[in-house]
Structure formats: C-alpha cells, structure tokens
Structure 1
Amino acid sequence: MPLNSQQIRKLRALAHHLKPVIMVGDKGITENLLKELDRALETHELLKVTIAGADKAGRLEMTQALCEASQAEVVQTIGRISILYRKSKEPKIRV
C-alpha cells in the first residue's frame, strides 16, 4: 500500500526522535541482516536504517532492495539514513 503525503508527514514526525536500529555495513545486505530487519519491522513498524560505505546511488539501491525484501515502504531518505515503515500484524502506529 503506497503511503500518501499526510501519512508520510506523520511518519516522518514520529521517526524524528528515533535512533537507527539497523546498520548496513561493508558486507552489504546479508541474509542475517534481512532477518533482523524483518524482526525489527514487526516489533517497531517504523525504524531508521543507516547505510554505510556506499555512494548516494548505492544507498538508494540498497534502500530499495531492503524494502522489496521486507515489503516495507520508504518514508524518507536523508544522507545515510533511511526511514522504513511496514504495518505489523498488531499495529502500533495509527497511520
């Protein structure tokens, strides 16, 4: 489900104070990282991901790959930080 502009605005405001939960390092996207991302999205719904060791185009590609693998939506990307959202089975955030 694509997010509309009001939903994105609300999620950006909620994510402002969050610390990055997932960090993609030099090894890139691994199976263990995807498992941890899935667990974190189910637990938190909204989270920040830090992507290190890549240029802007590489970071955008990694963000898209993470979203495709986890069925999440990109809320925002700023520099090395990407904000992802996926509604969990027991919703915690009302969007």
Structure 2
Amino acid sequence: MAISNEQRKAYRAIGHQLNPIVTIASNGLTEGVIEELNRALDDHELIKIKVSVGDRELKKEVIAEVLKISKAELVQQIGNTALLIRRNPKAKPNLSNLKRL
C-alpha cells in the first residue's frame, strides 16, 4: 500500500508528537527487538524508532531490514529517527496513535 502525499503529511504531523518506542543499537536486530517492534506496531500503528548503528549506509540497511521484517512502511526518516506505519484494523482505539491523535 503506497502512502499518498496527503497521508504522509498527516502521519508526519501526528509523528511529530511521538517519542521513539524502539531503539536499535549497534548489536542490531535481535529477536527481542523484533518482538517489541511488532508489538508496538500492532498496538500503536504509527511509531517512531531510533536507529543508532553508525554510518548512514548501515543505518539505511537496518531500516530497510526493519521494514522487510515488520512489513511496515517508512513515512519519514530524519537522522537517527524513523517514522513507521503498519495499519491494524483490530487496533484498540485507546492505544492507536492514528485514532487517538
């Protein structure tokens, strides 16, 4: 599902208020990080993650791997922070950032 420019703009506005939920450090994508990432996407739908792994190319590779594993879409990346979205029709309204904000 491709994100339209209008949707991307709305998601960025919501994401501006969010803090990173998952941090991926130099030890990379461990099983625990992947589980937490999937749980956060299921609950919140729109999340920020922080990727602190080194240079730009490695950061791009890690984010691409995160998108592939989680089946999420990248809304925006600025520096070490990425905004991801994965729609969940069964998300609880009090947890979903899309429905709450």
Which TM-score applies when normalising by structure 2?
0.87
- The amino acid that maps onto 2:52 is A
d(CA) in 2 for partners of 1:53, 1:66: 13
Partners of 1:17 and 1:23 in 2: how far apart?
17
Residue identity matched to 1:38: N
Q: Offset at 1:53? A: 2.6
Q: Percent identity?
A: 32
Shift of 1:40: 0.3
In structure 1, what is the equivalent of residue 62 of structure 2? 62
Deviation above 3 Å: which 4+ runs of structure 1? none
One-letter code aligned to 2:24 = V
Q: Does 1:28 align with 2:28?
A: yes
The aligned residue for residue 3 of structure 2 is 3
Stretch deviating more after TM superposition (82-91 or 31-40):
82-91
Q: Superposition RMSD on alpha carbons, in Å?
A: 1.2
